[in-house]
Structure 1
Amino acid sequence: MKLYLKTKDFSISNEVFELYYDEAFDMLITKPKPKSLKSYYQSEVYISHTDSKKSIVDKLYHLVKNYSLRKKLNLIESFYSAEKTVLDIGAGTADFLVVAKNAGWKTTGIEPNELAKQKASEKGIQLLPSLKEVEGEKYDVITLWHVLEHLADLEGDIERICQLLNENGTLVIAVPNFKSYDALHYGKFWAAYDVPRHLWHFSKTAIEKLFQKNHMKLVSIKPMLFDSFYVSLLSEKYKKGSQNIFKAFLTGLKSNLRAKKTKEYSSHIYILKKSN
C-alpha cells in the first residue's frame, strides 16, 4: 500500500496519522490504528454523540439533522417491510430510532458509547452495547449512518451484519467519499477524514467489493447533499483556525455541482440487498 496523505486529529488529540491507499479495494486505511479508541470519543466536541447546541456549527448540524431524519425515515419506509423491524448500528443518541419508533417501526439500536446511551435512554430508547447482543436475530432493515468507517473489525463486522438481515431485507449504509471535490479541495484538512475515529475511507468500488464477499448486491447509490456544506464548514476551521461560513458554503455548493457530472458526492448512501 502507498502513502496517500498525512493528516491529524484536529478535534481532540492533535495526533498525526497516515492514510494508505489499498489498490485492491480502492479505499484508504488509517494508520497507526490505536489500541484503544475510547478516549478519542470522549469529548463534547464530537457532537454526533451529544445534543450540544452551543456553537453555530452545532446549531447548523442539528438543523440539518432534523431534516435528514425525516428523509431517512422516508427512505426506509420505501422498502416493503412486513414486520417493520429496523436495527440501527452506531445509533448515537438514538434520534433516528425515535423517529422510526414514532412511525411504527420495531426498533433496536447498537451503541458502545456510554454518554450516547445515557442520552438515548433519556429519550426512551435503550441501546445495546455490541452486535453480540443481537446474534441470531433477523431484521427487515439494517442501517449504518456514518458508522461503517468506525468499525475496528471491518470485514468481520460486515459478515456479522449481513447475517442479521432477513432474506428480503435491505442494508442502508452512509459513508463519506474521499473522491469528492471537497475532499480533494481540503486535502489533509478535510474534516471527514476524522482520524483516528474513521479507520476506513471508502469509494463506490470499495463498498461494492466488500459486500460482494457476503453475497450482497449494491442496488442504488444516493447523494447526501448537505454533507458537503457541513464538512466544508469544519474543514475551513481546521485549515484556517476560524469558521468561514460563506467560503464553506461556496465550496460545498461547488462540490455538489461537480458531483452532478462526476457522481462523486461528499457522502453517499448505499442501498444493498442479498444477491440470488
Structure 2
Amino acid sequence: MANTKYLSCKDHTVSGEEFDLLHNEAYDMLITQPVPSLDKLHEYYKSDAYISHTDAKKSMVEKIYQKIKHLNLNKKISYINATNPGKGALLDIGTGTGDFLLIAKKKGWDVHGTEPNKKARLLAKEKGVSVSEELTVEKKKYDVITMWHVLEHVPDLKEQIKSLSRLLADNGTLFIAVPNFKSYDAKYYNEYWAAYDVPRHLHHFSKRSINKLFKEEKMVVVKILPMIFDAFYVSMLSEKYKKSKLSFVRGALTGMISNLKANSSGEYSSLIYIIKKAK
C-alpha cells in the first residue's frame, strides 16, 4: 500500500528546510521524507533552540518548557510507582539532561540512561546519574523501560521495538510518550504544529499505529494516559512559528481548547502508552 502525502512542513529550529509527511495507511502513521542520512541527522540537533538537550531558562518559551517538564516529572514517577510498586531496574532511553533519572533514583529505582547527545549526556552525569551513549550489552533485563518523547526520533523503528522487547523483563512495563497527530492542536496548526519537529521527528503516531507496531512484537497496550501540559507548550511554540502576536495567550487558549475536546475524544496532544508483554 503506497504512502500518500499528508502535508509539507518546515524545520523551524535549525535549517529552515521543508519536508513532506507521508501517511502510511496500514499503520495510520506519518513518515518524514526525505530522511537525512545518519551521518547528517545529528546536524539538525545542533541548536541552542533544541531545548530538550539543555537546561536553559532564558526565554519565556524555555521557562515554560522547564516548568512543564518538572510538573510532568512527578506525574511520570507516580505512574511508574503505581504500576511497579516493588521498584527495581529502570532504563530511560533518550534521557536528555537526566532530570527524570534523578527523581527516579531518589524514589528508590536502580537507574541507567542512554543519551546520544554529548552535551545533554554531560549535564545528566553532573547530576549524579548513570548515562551512556548507547547500550553496549543487552543481556540485562529491566523492570521498567521509559522513552519520553524519543520513539519519534528513532530511524529504525521496528528494530528499536524488537530491542525493547529483548530488554524488558517478562513482567516488566514499558512507558512510551509520543505526540499525537490526531489531536485538535495538530489539526489546528497543521504545518506549523511544533510537535512535527521535522526532521528530528521521523515518525508521527496515532493510537492505532502504536497498538499495531507493538502487537507485532507480542506486546500489548494496557493503558493510555494524557499529557495535559503538552498541549499548552506545543500550542505556544506553534504560535511562535506562525509569528503570531500574543503567542503566549493564543497558545494557552488553543491548548485549553485541545484538552477540552480531548476529554471526549481521547486525542490529547501527547499520550503515554503503558505496554506489557502479551501473556
Shared fold, TM over 0.5: yes
Kept in 1: contact 2:81–2:87 (CA 8 A): no
Question: In 2, distance between residues paired with 1:215 and 1:226?
Answer: 31
Q: 2:111 is matched with which residue: 104, 107, 110?
A: 107
Mapping 1:154-165, distance limit 5 Å: 154-165=157-168
Question: In 2, distance between residues paired with 1:95 and 1:165?
Answer: 22
The match for 2:14 is 12
Counterpart amino acid of 2:225? K
The match for 1:269 is 272
Q: Give 1:84 shift.
A: 1.5
Q: Give 1:83 shift.
A: 5.1
Q: Give 1:161 shift.
A: 1.1
Mapping 1:216-227, distance limit 5 Å: 216-227=219-230
Kept in 2: contact 1:117–1:126 (CA 8 A): no
The match for 2:142 is 139
Q: 2:62 is matched with which residue: 40, 58, 61?
A: 58
Question: In 2, distance between residues paired with 1:184 and 1:83?
Answer: 39
For structure 2, list consecutive stretches of 5 or more residues without a partner in the other structure.
none
TM-score scaled by length of structure 1? 0.97
Whether 1:179 and 2:182 are equivalent positions in the alignment is: yes
What is the DSSP-based 3-state SS (H/G/I as helix, E as strand, rest coil) of the residue aligned with 2:63? helix
The match for 1:166 is 169
**Corresponding residue pairs, total:** 275
Calculate percent identity across the aligned residue pairs.
54
Q: Give 1:241 shift.
A: 5.4
The match for 2:92 is 88
Whether 1:30 and 2:32 are equivalent positions in the alignment is: yes
What stretches of structure 1 move > 3 A for 4+ residues in a row? none
When structure 1 is superposed on structure 2, of 67-76 and 21-30 the one drifting more is 67-76
What is the DSSP-based 3-state SS (H/G/I as helix, E as strand, rest coil) of the residue aligned with 2:221? strand
The match for 2:128 is 124
What is the DSSP-based 3-state SS (H/G/I as helix, E as strand, rest coil) of the residue aligned with 1:226? helix
Question: In 1, distance between residues paired with 2:137 and 2:224?
Answer: 27
Kept in 2: contact 1:234–1:243 (CA 8 A): no
The match for 1:74 is 78
For structure 1, list consecutive stretches of 5 or more residues without a partner in the other structure.
none
Kept in 2: contact 1:17–1:32 (CA 8 A): yes
Kept in 1: contact 2:145–2:174 (CA 8 A): yes
TM-score scaled by length of structure 2? 0.96
Listed one character per residue, the Cα deviations across residues 48-80 of structure 1 (whole Å, up to 9, x for unaligned) are 010000101111111111111111111111123
The match for 1:210 is 213
Whether 1:150 and 2:153 are equivalent positions in the alignment is: yes
Kept in 1: contact 2:111–2:130 (CA 8 A): no
Q: Give 1:249 shift.
A: 0.8
Q: Give 1:3 shift.
A: 0.3
